[in-house]
Amino acid sequence: MFKLFGKKKEAPKSDASSAQHPELAALAAQFDPEEFDILAVTGANGFGGDKEPGQELWTATLPLTAWKEDGGPLHREDTCLVALADDTLLGYLRRLAPRDSIIQARVRQGLDDDRFLLVGMPSPVMDPELKAILEEQKQEVSTWVPGLGTFVLNRSVNWFQADVDWLGQSIQLTYDQGSEAEMKAAQDNALDLMADQAGWDGKVRAFAAGQLLSQANDWVREAAGEDGEAGEVTRESFLEQMELESVQIYGDGRFEFWFNDGGLFWGRAIHVTGSLTEGPADAQMEG
């Protein structure tokens, strides 16, 4: 738990008594009161912040891939550090405990799960045993899929990705990391999708235009204002401005197409979801 005090440019200091704040008290109640120090390997992402509506502080979370108490047994398991932080503290935490690093931290153990509550500022540390784990996890993981090419694991989002040719342009094709059966099913579905690029490209674009054309024209009129002259976005111009960037495919046949909007929605993405069996099912402007 943390409390910011001292001079403006000083790093924030730890203060477990700051649990008087209602959000801090609620989080602290989920952890054993005993404090101890751990050494840990951080994962492919640094501290991420999430804030519920009406919440004053960020819930900051740092993935861990391995940890141990100094001189204790090694635990190779995915877990995380959590803390509540304002914007300033979250910035400090991200600098002090970056992705793919080894840190020392004072923590409290979760009562009902494997999380750790951070009760002291983390700091970098060196440990030979953890360094070997860190070097192992940073090695590139790739797989060759006949007919599709080489996919490389993107650890930050836990999916395999490859650049493939789609109707003469390069796009990113992805599928989630999972069991061998799940990944093989996703690869087979990707081959089916790629075998009919023109058909699927036409279906998905037409569906997106049908769902979003009216909204695109609303945006044009809004941008023009009361005195402006609003041009019309036609179905043809809508289809032409969509630029495919990536496709994600799943083992159960679901897919996600992501398009650059070409300025239709002021730089936001067009996201179309559906399945190989049912076709496109939903289209949204996102971002």
> Could you read off the pLDDT of 129-183 as tens digits, one per residue?
999 999 999 999 999 999 999 999 999 999 999 999 999 999 999 999 999 999 9
pLDDT at residue 230 in the model: 58
pLDDT bucket at 13, cuts 50 / 70 / 90? very low
What pTM was estimated for this model as a whole? 0.80
29 and 56 fall within a common domain: yes
282 and 155, same domain (yes or no): yes
Residue 115 and residue 154 in one domain:
no
* Helices and strands: H and E segment counts in the chain: 6, 17
Nearest CA among 123, 89, 95 for reference residue 107: 123
For residues 109 and 220, membership in a common domain is answered with no
Same domain, 217 and 81: no
d(CA 222, CA 97): 44
**Residue range(s) defining the domain that contains residue 243:** 142-286
Contact 250, 230 (CB under 8 A): no
> Of 78, 20, 80, 25, whose CA–CA distance to 50 is shortest?
80
Structural domains of the chain, count: 2
Least confident window among 88-97, 220-229, 275-284: 220-229
Express each pLDDT in 193-206 by its tens digit: 999 999 999 999 99
Question: In CATH, what number is assigned to the domain containing residue 57?
Answer: 2.40.50.140
Top mean pLDDT of 84-88, 212-216, 264-268 is at 84-88
Distance CA 48, CA 40 (A): 17
Which pLDDT value is given to residue 21?
Answer: 80
Mean pLDDT across 222-249: 80
Average pLDDT over residues 229-258: 90
Say how far apart CA 247 and CA 244 lie, in whole Å. 8
User: Nearest 5°: phi and psi at 138?
Assistant: -85, -10
Tell me: do 131 and 147 sit in the same domain: no
What's phi and psi for 66, nearest 5 deg?
-160, 155
Report which of residues 262 and 192 the model is more confident about. Answer: 192
Task: Tally Cβ neighbours within 10 Å of residue 37.
Answer: 12
**What token pair was written down for 43?**
């994962």
Q: Which of 66, 101, 136 is the last residue of a domain?
A: 136
pLDDT of residue 7: 31
Q: Which of 105, 136, 167 is the last residue of a domain?
A: 136
Q: With contact defined as beta carbons under 8 Å apart, do 116 and 38 qualify?
A: yes
Say yes or no to pLDDT of 184 above 90. Answer: yes
Instruction: Find the mean pLDDT for residues 104-133.
Output: 96
How many CB atoms lie under 10 A from the CB of residue 153? Answer: 17
Same domain for 124 and 31, yes or no, is yes
Regarding whether 150 and 51 lie in a shared domain, the answer is no
Are 226 and 255 within one domain? yes
Q: Are residues 30 and 132 in the same domain?
A: yes
Collect all residues with Cβ–Cβ distance below 8 Å to 139 and sequence separation of at least 6.
Answer: none
Distance (Å) of CA 190 to CA 149, 177, 186, 244: 11, 14, 6, 16
Which of 83, 108, 136 finishes a domain? 136
Predicted confidence at residue 229, as pLDDT, reads 60
95 CB-near residues (< 8 Å, 6+ apart): none
Percent with pLDDT over 70 in the chain: 90
